[in-house]
Amino acid sequence: MPFSFISAWKKRRRSNTRDHTDPWIYKPAEYWGIEDQTPQPTKRRHGSSIFTLKEMEESTCSFSDENLLGKGGFGRVYKGTLQSGEVVAIKKMELPPSKKAEGEREFRVEVDILSRLDHPNLVSLIGYCADGKHRFLVYEYMQKGNLQDHLNGSCEKKMDWPSRLKVAIGASRGLAYLHSNSEVGIPIVHRDFKSTNVLLNGNFEAKISDFGLAKLMPEGQEIDVTARVLGTFGYFDPEYTSTGKLTLQSDVYAFGVVLLELLTGRRAIDLNQGPSDRNLVVQVRHILNDRKKLRKVIDPEMARSSYTIESIAMFANLASRCVRVKSRERPSMPECVKELQLIFCTNAKGLGHAF
Ligand SMILES: Nc1ncnc2c1ncn2[C@@H]1O[C@H](COP(=O)(O)OP(=O)(O)OP(=O)(O)O)[C@@H](O)[C@H]1O
Ligand SMILES: [Mg+2]
């Protein structure tokens, strides 16, 4: 197995450790139970720096409310400015004692996996802080926040169809990269792909975040059977839920749900609806290949002049295949990338745009 966590880690420590009294340095190779083999330096845009609690406090004005970007299951996320002047997003782990062990695991997975990956459609991990009991993850700052807010949240101007298609293409490329052998040498299943984990930069380019639940899928062992199903309600692969068998195709299902969110502007789970209408997939699955009915579910807030029905129909057809109950009937992520590129071109041609 082409794994070299220790050598990459030692290299990272040599170049990034500022303080030799750093209280906590974890050993990824031990964590994964994988032996160090040939040295293979990892290419990263950002090295994973190690920060102290003081640096985290200073960069966020002591976690002031003005710097609060959002809150998730792991804790709050703050905007911060490092001493170098770099603007970052800092995720602070705030978990009740009963969830600390789980949080620690997710923290390590995130640092371990993300610090080894380098792709324009994955959020970069700039570093982390593990000072005493405190845990922070430091990411590149994504100016436009998460995709869900742009579709049905606080953002007023809704995205047009070409922007949505570009987001879908970007996210599909990120997932295809994870599913390929990437730098890690083993396919990775994200396991928590959803619209709040698709972040947008100033140019509305999509990057995938949150690798805490990610899992390596060693070759020839494409199925991982777990007693506990992890992920987010509304994005669960039904096959994974019923059998506990995790495959790369579980991400394809979740990707299909995000495609449906892009198409309809609705949430994957809408608690404002009655029990039978809450789940987006259940609500629209049967009409995705019916052009007449399809028109009724297109996001009414999306500029009509930005899409052709032809491209919408192709997109809906792809989404319907991604959310098929049987995982083997779903397309692969590289197939999704190709189809989305074709859909983008079809839309531009139909509107008479040059591309
Ligand atoms: N790198 C970042 N740049 C800018 N904003 C970010 C960044 N990371 C997270 N955020 C913001 O902080 C919010 C909370 O993120 P977090 O990942 O903790 O939770 P979540 O993905 O919304 O939900 P959950 O924890 O249930 O998965 C995000 O929705 C996003 O708006
Ligand atoms: Mg998230």
Catalytic residue set: 192
pLDDT along the chain (355 residues), means of 10: 32 36 37 37 56 97 97 92 97 85 85 87 94 92 96 85 98 95 81 95 95 68 58 86 88 98 95 87 94 95 96 98 96 98 97 78
Its domain, for residue 109, covers 20-140
* Cα 52 to ligand 1 centroid, rounded to whole Å: 22
The pLDDT value given to residue 16:
40
Comparing CA positions, the residue from 61, 58, 211, 82 lying closest to residue 141 is: 82
Same domain flag for 128 and 172: no
Task: Let me know if residue 6 belongs to a domain.
Answer: no
Contact 267, 277 (CB under 8 A): no
What is the DSSP annotation of 155-219?
A: -SSPP-HHHHHHHHHHHHHHHHHHHS-TTTTS-EE-S---GGGEEE-TT--EEE---TT-EE--T
Total number of domains in the chain: 2
Same domain flag for 114 and 175: no
The pLDDT value given to residue 156:
76
**Pick from 95, 113, 140: which residue ends a domain?**
140
The pLDDT value given to residue 19:
36
Task: Let me know if residue 13 belongs to a domain.
Answer: no
**Pick from 89, 112, 140: which residue ends a domain?**
140
Ligand nearest to the CA of 147: 1
Same domain flag for 153 and 133: no
Residue whose CA is at the smallest distance from ligand 1 atom 5:
145
**Pick from 109, 140, 171: which residue ends a domain?**
140
Residue whose CA is at the smallest distance from ligand 1 atom 12:
70
Which atom in ligand 1 lies closest to the alpha carbon of residue 123? 1
Same domain flag for 253 and 130: no
Which atom in ligand 1 lies closest to the alpha carbon of residue 148? 29
Task: Let me know if residue 195 belongs to a domain.
Answer: yes
Same domain flag for 100 and 184: no
Same domain flag for 96 and 151: no
Same domain flag for 185 and 215: yes
Q: Which two tokens stand for residue 238?
A: 């039904």
Same domain flag for 281 and 346: yes
Task: Let me know if residue 12 belongs to a domain.
Answer: no
CA distance 176 to 251: 10
Q: Which two tokens stand for residue 152?
A: 């049905």
**CATH at residue 288:** 1.10.510.10
Same domain flag for 131 and 172: no
